[in-house]
Amino acid sequence: MGTLSLANYEEVRISVPWGHISGRWHGNRTERPILAIHGWLDNLGTFDRLIPLLPDNVGVLCIDLPGHGRSSRLPPGMHYSVYDYVFVIPRVMKEYGWHKVSLMGHSLGGIMAFIYATLAPHTVDMVISLDILLPIPDDARGKDVDTFGRNMEKHLVEDERQEEGNLREPPAYTLPELRKVLSKGSYNSVPPREAQHLLYRQVAKSQLYPDRFFFSRDARVKFYYHIFLEKGLAAEMARRIQRKPYLIIKGSLSPFVGPHCDEAIAILGKNNPHFELHEVQGGTHHVHLHAAEECAQYIGPFIRHHRPPNLTTWSLAGRGEQLSSKERRQAQEQFFARSKHSKQRSKL
């Protein structure tokens, strides 16, 4: 078994009532893939460094959320909300006829995975959450109601600007400047040297200034709506997930998996041998981007254990032959023995 290739993908375009959802399906197209969902203001490029480190027996379908990357914007007058974004997951499932879904999400994508897993736990077979579980309390950065009020006003201003036909172009930058702007906007969670993984899907060439570019995502997504989940509600939601395989990776320098998550984490891990929580030292919020190798040490064994290879056929002596029941059983035992050993080593 090898790892995925970043170059081996197929562009996908999923029709939705307001346009389309863009994505890239990496690797195996014969089985249901892992659905990978990026964070707020990011796009599917956030997984570029992680993809080549993941096992290749399962494909990964990375998507751009509405208003991000190359996906369609919501219609004029509509607003973006974390709770409305959750509906993207069953839409993708319906497109491909999936009855189950494996989810991997960073930040906003991880919150979406948590919410969806509580609403339809019978359809989720595993969740990988990258430096997130619950929305971070706004009172850590400012009063929640005040933030909501300011964002509402800004959203309406942006709505008016777009209704006027985008008469003025957004601020334009050189590519080196864009790297710095993106890094600063992420509170330096995305190092400038990694910014290109996000920029190639969210910038457009300026029509006014040669060699300059501007951010092409929908500016309204900056003011998307979310409210901190009340403690009791978050706990009840975590109970609904029950004993699902759930992996959380936290960056040690990030506040996004903090005390506000303690009760939900305790519930997810109670009597659940399939729950894992790991911390990557020196990791910021985009830990999967700047510390992809460290994250893959935990994600790879988790995927191999909960989405093992289909062992009905193997290549023997260079020939694709049907395995006998005894041979298949022996191959499975050998695989799970290696997987268990790998998992134990990853915890050292």
Catalytic residue ranges: 107
DSSP codes, 199-265: HTTTEEE-SSSTT-EEE-S-GGGGG-B--PPPHHHHHHHHHHHTT--EEEEEETT-SSSSGGGHHHH
> What distance in Å separates the CA atoms of residue 30 and residue 313, rounded to the nearest whole number?
13
**Residue 86: phi, psi to the nearest 5?**
-60, -30
Q: Tell me what percent of the chain is helix, strand and coil, each rounded to the nearest 5.
A: 40, 20, 40
> What distance in Å separates the CA atoms of residue 151 and residue 159, rounded to the nearest whole number?
12
> What distance in Å separates the CA atoms of residue 70 and residue 21, rounded to the nearest whole number?
8
Q: Which two tokens stand for residue 331?
A: 């191959």
Q: Region of 234 please: left (phi>0), alpha (psi -120 to 50) or beta.
A: alpha
* Interior angle at CA 29, CA 72 and CA 103, nearest 5: 60
For residue 257, give every residue at least 6 positions away whose Cβ sits within 8 Å of its Cβ, in sequence order, or none: 131, 132, 133, 248, 250, 265
DSSP 81: B
Sheet holding 101-106, edge to edge: 9-16, 19-26, 60-63, 34-37, 101-106, 124-130, 246-251, 275-280
> What distance in Å separates the CA atoms of residue 175 and residue 190, rounded to the nearest whole number?
15
The residue type of 283 is G
DSSP 44: G
Q: Which two tokens stand for residue 38?
A: 């990026």
Burial (CB count <10 Å: 0-12, 13-18, 19+), residue 117: buried
